[in-house]
A and B are shown apart, each in its own frame.
Chain A
Amino acid sequence: MATTVITGRDVTFTIGGNNFDAQATSATLIGEMTRETYQTLDGKSFKVTDNNFTFNVEMLADWGATGSLCEILWGVSESAPDTGINTVFTAASGAVFSFQVLPSWPSAGGTAPDAQTVSLSFQVIGVPSEAF
């Protein structure tokens, strides 16, 4: 099998139907398992009792721009903080994850010489569904 390389440029995603390609510099979907360990007479036994996913996004701030994604995220955090937002994350063509995230406040401001950036860590509801 030939070596496959995919890069961050293969990644695309939408949150609430809004495409983040123009602003996002990094997007990572991370899943973690809570695995209990039981010591039995036969040896160790393992059981996953919970799964937790987070969706981490780094993006260039776009406050004040027409169709600002920062302003959309701020608005939905204010108006519906407990409502899931449909998110579609494409790791590469043919590997698509669909899930819902809870709103997260975008930060504002930054250091003087650099472009303003926003770091977001979205809580994913449940386990993403995948299409491979």
Chain B
Amino acid sequence: MPNTILDTIRQPLATAFASVAGNVYAYVPEAPMVPFVVMVPDSPYFELETLGKSQIRTKINIVISVAVAYNSNPASLDNLEQLVISVLKVIPAGYAVGTVDKPTVTQVGPSNVLVADIRVSTYYTQTN
């Protein structure tokens, strides 16, 4: 079995978020249930920063999108802030945490959600 990015980076990150009050996805699901935390690729996704070609080693930039139901603005923002803080608290070692982008209203299926993106990066080495 190859050590895929899903198995070694995104799924462990999702597992670390097990304690947060929301549905956690290591990939973008067809119909996410709010509140949710989902790992999506950032741009640039891969950055080849280390020397050598014998193994593929790459910096990986990931966006952790955190979303809550968008019903009333004050409550939604408060809910989002609490969820973002709870995610920040459990990001494991080895992940560089960048910025949290300003919340935006996004339509997911039939409903609006309030979403903020947390930018993180880490390093992946293909070992087999």
Contact = CB atoms under 8 A, between A and B. Distances in A.
B96 A12 contact: no
Interface string A84-126: 0000000000000000000000000000011100000000000
A13 B51 CA distance: 9
B52 A11 contact: yes
Interface residues of B, number: 16
B123 interface: yes
Contact of A21 (B52, B121, B123): B52
Interface string B65-108: 00000000000000000000000000000001111000000000
Nearest to A8: B51
Contact of B123 (A11, A24, A60, A114): A60
A10 B50 CA distance: 10
SS of A interface (majority): mixed
Interface string B51-65: 111110100000000
A12 B95 CA distance: 26
Contacts of A23: 50
B96 A9 contact: no
Contacts of A11: 51-52
A27 interface: yes
B125 A9 contact: no
Interface residues of A, number: 18
A117 to B, nearest CB: 10
Interface of B: 48-55, 57, 96-99, 121, 123, 125
A21 B98 contact: no
A113 B53 contact: no
A77 interface: no
Contacts of A12: 51-52, 54
B96 A114 contact: yes
A20 B51 contact: yes
Interface string A13-39: 100000011111111000000000000
9 contacts: A12-B52, A22-B55, A22-B57, A24-B50, A25-B49, A113-B98, A113-B99, A115-B96, A115-B123
B96 A21 contact: no
A95 to B, nearest CB: 14
A56 B38 CA distance: 40
A54 B125 CA distance: 30
A22 B96 contact: no
B50 A22 contact: yes
A100 B112 CA distance: 63
